[in-house]
Structure 1
Amino acid sequence: MGKSIQALLRNGLAWLLSLLMFVPLLLIVINSLKDQVQAGSMGMDLPDRLHWSNYAVVIEQGKLLQSFFNSLLYSGASTVLGIALSAVAAYIFARNATKLHRFFYFFIILGIAMPVNFVTLTKVMQFTHLNNTQLGIIILLAVHSIPFTVFLIYGFIGTVPRELDEAGIMDGCPPFKLFFLIVLPLLKPVVVTVGILNFMGAWNDFVHSLYYLNSSDKWPMTLAVYNFFGRYQVNWNLVSADIVLTTLPVILIYLMGQRYIIAGMTSGAVKG
């Protein structure tokens, strides 16, 4: 009986915390459907009439379609590039545990905690002529995701039997073919996990785009929202609609991939 009460209390607390986290999103959604006057107070009261036209105004005035495809390009390309580089590096570090490889592994994962030196990074971007280019943002986001991705994949590779590598080598399989055709498919849970997390991180990135993109036609959605807020900060209904449209893709991707995230985070420990 005592355990049932404890489980009920834990579930109740979890539901309460979930509702508290949901309140800000609900506040934004409600105010995105109000007129300018009613949304001025940013209250939780329901609108007198649903103003769906707010979303049409935001899409047209905020150039959200263009910024949406920019965000999709930056997030998708940087995620694929980051995972490709990180998976190969993690595989080499895990399968050849020499002192040099361990040094490089710990050196790379230090990037999880170390802050970015934007002065030096700006000099590098200027020297490589990647400033104000879409390729530059893709490379920046990919490199930024490498430490965390290497850390997760490295731990998961230990669960893949070495006998598969040996069997592939005995069959005359080249190293890269061995990795991409035999080992990489077995890493699907962790690859999908880091893919979703890195995609959401790149989608929500604001600082890199703010510093290194000057042309408005190259802005992602986060920067478009920032610019839109500066122009329409008194129109909280439009600002709220802009925020909803920006966060909706991330929420949908997370909801579709949450089971992969949980599986990827736990499968390594279960198999070990």
Structure 2
Amino acid sequence: MSVRPKNTLTSLAPHVLAIAASLVTTIPVYLVCVNALKSEAQSSSMGVDLPTELHFENFATVIDRGKLTISFLNSMLYSTGAAILATLFAALAAFILSRHRTRLNRALYFFLIMGIALPINFFTLTKMMQVTHLINTKPGMIILYATLQVPFAVFLMYGFVASIPRELDEAAAIDGCGPLEMFFRVILPLLMPVLVTTFILSFLNTWNDFIMPLYYLNSSENWPMTLAVYNFFGQFKQSWNLVSADILLTIVPVLLVYLAGQRFILSGMTSGAVKG
């Protein structure tokens, strides 16, 4: 009889921890949502109470004063462009490194994935951006973001490529396919789950980044939404309703992308997890 209470407590503990973690995550989102619809006076305390009157005009004010239309298009350009480049080049690299496991390729693989953990040397990076004339340019930010996403993308795809039978390569070669034709016509379609996963994760990481545009974008015309929110907060830090509306407009696109691709992320993360 004495064993049952212990078993009950053991079974309840994970649920309690999950509820606590959910509250920690959802409470800030709830505060942003409710205060984005309040008046300036009611939102001054950032309370949890519901708005007495809905102020949808806060969003129009934020879009107009915060230049969110331009920053939204910039964020979409940076995130989509970087995600496409990172996914494509990482897939090519993972295919070559996984299929031809020579000592050199093994060393190159470990050299690439070191980029996941090693800190960024901003002094060297800034010098490279200046030398290549990519600083304060949109193409420069796309290339920079794509480069930053490649290490994790290669790591994610490497094991997935190893799960594809080599017999498919041999059959494609017998049919007369060259290396590039084999990759794009035979291998790439089979990589679709991990390709979608890599694209979504690269998109989210780029969209949420704040440091890179802060260092390498001087013109407000090139700012993404994260930098536009930062600048907006500096101008309207007393108007918490507008700040909350600004934050909400920034996180809604990334939430929609994540929710739309959640099942692909889970399948892509687990499919090649035991390979490599």
Same fold (TM over 0.5): yes
Structure 2 residue ranges without an equivalent (≥5):
none
Q: Which residue of 1 aligns with 2:176?
A: 172
Q: Which residue of 1 aligns with 2:229?
A: 225
What does 1:12-27 correspond to in 2, within 5 Å?
A: 12-27=16-31
Q: Which amino acid aligns with 1:164?
A: L
Task: Give, in angstroms, the shift of residue 6 of structure 1.
Answer: 5.2
SS at match of 2:209: coil
Q: 2:265 aligns with which of 261, 264, 270?
A: 261
Q: Which amino acid aligns with 1:21?
A: T
Task: Give, in angstroms, the shift of residue 270 of structure 1.
Answer: 7.0
Task: Give, in angstroms, the shift of residue 14 of structure 1.
Answer: 2.0
CA distance in 1 between counterparts of 2:163 and 2:157 reads: 10
Task: Give, in angstroms, the shift of residue 47 of structure 1.
Answer: 1.4
SS at match of 1:242: helix
SS at match of 1:97: coil
Q: 1:105 aligns with which of 98, 109, 115?
A: 109
Q: Which residue of 2 aligns with 1:123?
A: 127
- State the TM-score, normalizing by the size of structure 2: 0.94
Q: Which residue of 1 aligns with 2:242?
A: 238
1:124-171 superposed Cα distances (whole Å, 9 cap, x missing partner)? 111001111000000000000000000010011110000000000111
Matched pairs, number: 272
Q: Which residue of 1 aligns with 2:98?
A: 94
Q: Which amino acid aligns with 1:43?
A: G
Task: Give, in angstroms, the shift of residue 8 of structure 1.
Answer: 5.5
1:82-138 superposed Cα distances (whole Å, 9 cap, x missing partner)? 111111011100000000001111001000000111111111111001111000000
Q: Which amino acid aligns with 1:148?
A: F
2:87 maps to 1:83: yes
Q: Which residue of 2 aligns with 1:206?
A: 210
Q: Which residue of 1 aligns with 2:185?
A: 181
Q: Which amino acid aligns with 1:84?
A: L
Q: Which residue of 2 aligns with 1:194?
A: 198
1:4-57 superposed Cα distances (whole Å, 9 cap, x missing partner)? 875565345323422321111001111111111111111111111111111010
Change in Cα spacing, 1:7 to 1:268, as seen in structure 2 (3 Å) is farther
Q: Which residue of 2 aligns with 1:71?
A: 75
- Do the aligned partners of 2:80 and 2:203 also contact (CA within 8 Å) in 1? yes
Task: Give, in angstroms, the shift of residue 206 of structure 1.
Answer: 1.1
- Do the aligned partners of 2:217 and 2:223 also contact (CA within 8 Å) in 1? yes
2:38 maps to 1:34: yes
* Aligned-residue RMSD, C-alpha: 1.7
CA distance in 1 between counterparts of 2:260 and 2:70 reads: 24
Change in Cα spacing, 1:111 to 1:270, as seen in structure 2 (3 Å) is closer
Structure 1 residue ranges without an equivalent (≥5):
none
Q: Which amino acid aligns with 2:175?
A: D
Task: Give, in angstroms, the shift of residue 269 of structure 1.
Answer: 3.9
Change in Cα spacing, 1:6 to 1:49, as seen in structure 2 (3 Å) is same
1:201-223 superposed Cα distances (whole Å, 9 cap, x missing partner)? 00011111111111111111001
